[in-house]
A and B are shown apart, each in its own frame.
Chain A
Amino acid sequence: MTVVAPALASLAGVSFAYSLPGGGRREVLRDVSLELRPGELVALLGPNGSGKTTLLRLLTGQLSPDAGSVALDGRPVGEWRRDDLARRVAVLPQQLDLPAGFRVAELVEMGRAPHARSLFGSTAEDERAVRQALVDADAIELAARYADELSGGERQRVLVAMALAQEPELLLLDEPTLHLDLAHQVALLRTIRRLRGHRSLTVLAVLHDINLAAAFAPRVVVLAEGGVAADGAADDVLTPALVERVFGVSVRALQAGDGRHHLALNLEG
């Protein structure tokens, strides 16, 4: 009998709507329920406007649900103290303008802020965490460089290091591959997978490339029209029928030599 681990993060019956400047509301999520269990690696997919970013913001507490509850470790996110939350949840943003004049090590140290103990210096603990984060993010050789001298890929690794320095249990990635070329996309996702293992991270990544998501994450959640259209293993869930329904695109499923499915765009007809 398998023991199901208690959920690390959960949404239960969550609804959310944005207020529009001209009055009125745009409903984004309607009665959404979702659970993330410790150690899971989950990809979040869906067309634009389906509420992916909104869901992430609900998990970090940036937004409050209109209905239902968002919980971390069984406690509603709204009841958590900011710094306690920051010690558990880290966000890798889509892109971030790194302030000039700081060295990479100093920027990564900013990720230690929720854990910061000493008033003016950094503790040995901070030093260790930053070093580890840089090593894990494959950015240790960048440590002494200035932030504004970095290339796009290097910057991405620094952002990963900053998130890891927080030593989170839940790592949220908000379309991290959006501005990266293919090699960097793959490198990033490989790094995340590797880290999940030895840091016992739970990862929820918003991705826009279906195949990449399928290759990356054992579990895929698809949002559409305010609700969860599919939730499960990529192979089971990402059927051509679903893709057509949710994305409005026609695809064919191909079976590759390694037994995995890939979805190919059907550009004819």
Chain B
Amino acid sequence: MRAAVSQPLAGAEPRLLRGPTLTRTTLVLGTGALALAAAVVAALAIGSVGVAPGDTLAILARRLLGLPLAETWPATAETIVFDLRLPRVLTAALVGGGLAMSGAVFQALLRNPLADPYIIGTAAGASLGAVLGIVGPALVPGLAIGLGSAWLGLGFIQVLAFAGGLGTVLLVYAVARTGGRTPVVTLLLTGYAVSAVLAAVVALLMFQSGRALAAVYSWLMGSLADASWAELGFALPLLILSFALLLARWRRLNLLLLGDAQAATLGVDVEREKLRLTMLATLATSAAVAISGTIGFVGLVVPHLLRLVAGPDHRLLLPASLLFGAALLVLADLGARLVGGVPVGIVTALVGAPFFLYLLRRARVVVVA
């Protein structure tokens, strides 16, 4: 028998465990935070009416921090920055972060680096809800509550979209569950099938939509043009909660990468955990989609890219996705505004897709077994 097997831990020896190395963590999260801050300031200062960056910061300092600064800027600038752009930029940050983080979770859950947060039916269900809300009053005049009017303080459409997204995933999960287990492949296929059916119904409704077609189209492409404090108030608690709960589950996501069997022997209640993660990610995605429509690519490209750069450890990947997803969407929305107010989903697709292709060719794609 070999001697001296159990050596007491000498204090001078270097630590083995620092999570992903401390330098890597600082670098990635630091860059993310900086990128987000820069994007936010840029998006608040730039637009069809320009506001000097100095004025922008001063306005924010005065309104948000209460600093008693002399008002050297025109009153319209303050309205534009604080009442028009700020809710929109905050929404972009929350939605972008939420979609990216949900994308990371689904990519781990489904063991597919090409998964996005909509893959098991959220987009199709939310679209159906929203289109029903937009087109319904046109088809059945008795429902003419109006697009911008309030129901529980929030548009009819947003509530239907949220319910549609969440409900569809529950349906898909229930259908895919056989014998107390939900195999990944079944989940994917069921999601695909249900999405196809709902998409057909949406297409039918679009055909009947008449004058509302432009509104439907804008929603489907994903747009932040109607961001408002009211919508933010609805989505914020849901998003913050799901962010917090998902961030805390990094360990279990890592364990799931080892496969269901091994994760179980390491103490994970695999079926329950998968359901919990699916529901949390869907909650975030549905809340995001309800207020901004189905914005594509953010939830796919950001976590995928970050996994290539920062590694698959969710302790870093989840917060990094949050920061970079937020920064990306804020910038994309700025671009969308500058190009004449196109739906931001067009920008993310036009920029995201080619960039993704470029990456697939250059980098080694990290496939999680």
Contact = CB atoms under 8 A, between A and B. Distances in A.
Q: Does A touch B (CB under 8 Å) in the complex?
A: yes
Interface of A: 60, 62, 82-83, 85-87, 89-91, 93, 96-102, 105-106, 109-111, 113-114, 116, 119-122, 126-128, 130-132, 134-136, 143, 166, 194, 197-198
B248 interface: yes
Contact of B265 (A91, A100, A119, A128): A91
Nearest to B269: A82
Contacts of B248: 119
Given A86-B266, A121-B19, 15 more contacts: A60-B265, A62-B265, A82-B267, A87-B267, A93-B261, A99-B312, A116-B251, A122-B17, A127-B16, A127-B17, A130-B17, A166-B266, A194-B1, A197-B1, A198-B6
B75 interface: no
Contacts of A105: 16-17
A104 B58 CA distance: 49
Q: Which 8 interchain pairs have the tightest Cβ spacing?
A: A86-B267, A97-B369, A83-B267, A114-B267, A101-B312, A99-B257, A105-B16, A91-B265
Contacts of B7: 135
B187 to A, nearest CB: 19
B13 to A, nearest CB: 8
B177 interface: no
Contacts of B250: 120
A85 B268 CA distance: 10
A110 B367 contact: no
A143 B307 CA distance: 21
Contacts of A122: 17, 19
B9 interface: yes
Contacts of B6: 132, 135-136, 198
Interface in B14-30: 15-17, 19-20
A194 B369 CA distance: 32
A64 B250 CA distance: 29
Given A91-B265, A99-B312, A110-B266, A131 B251 contact: no
B299 to A, nearest CB: 20
B259 interface: yes
Contacts of A89: 265
Contact of A91 (B262, B315, B369): B262
Nearest to B270: A82
A84 B175 CA distance: 32
B366 A101 contact: yes
B265 A113 contact: no
A96 B259 contact: yes
Contact of A100 (B2, B19, B269, B368): B368
A97 B16 CA distance: 22
Given A100-B367, A113-B251, A106 B17 contact: yes
A93 B259 CA distance: 11
B254 interface: yes
Contacts of B369: 97-100
Interface in B22-45: none
A106 B264 contact: no
A126 B17 CA distance: 8
A35 B13 CA distance: 42
Contacts of B19: 106, 120-122
22 contacts: A82-B268, A83-B267, A86-B266, A89-B265, A98-B258, A99-B369, A100-B366, A100-B367, A102-B311, A106-B17, A110-B254, A110-B258, A111-B266, A113-B251, A113-B252, A130-B16, A130-B17, A131-B16, A132-B9, A166-B266, A197-B1, A198-B6
B17 A198 contact: no
Contacts of A198: 5-6
B313 interface: yes
A115 B17 CA distance: 15
B298 interface: no
B255 interface: yes
Contact of A136 (B5, B258, B259, B315): B5
B183 to A, nearest CB: 14
Contacts of B268: 82, 113
B366 A62 contact: no
Interface in B169-215: none
Interface in B244-296: 248, 250-252, 254-255, 257-259, 261-262, 264-269
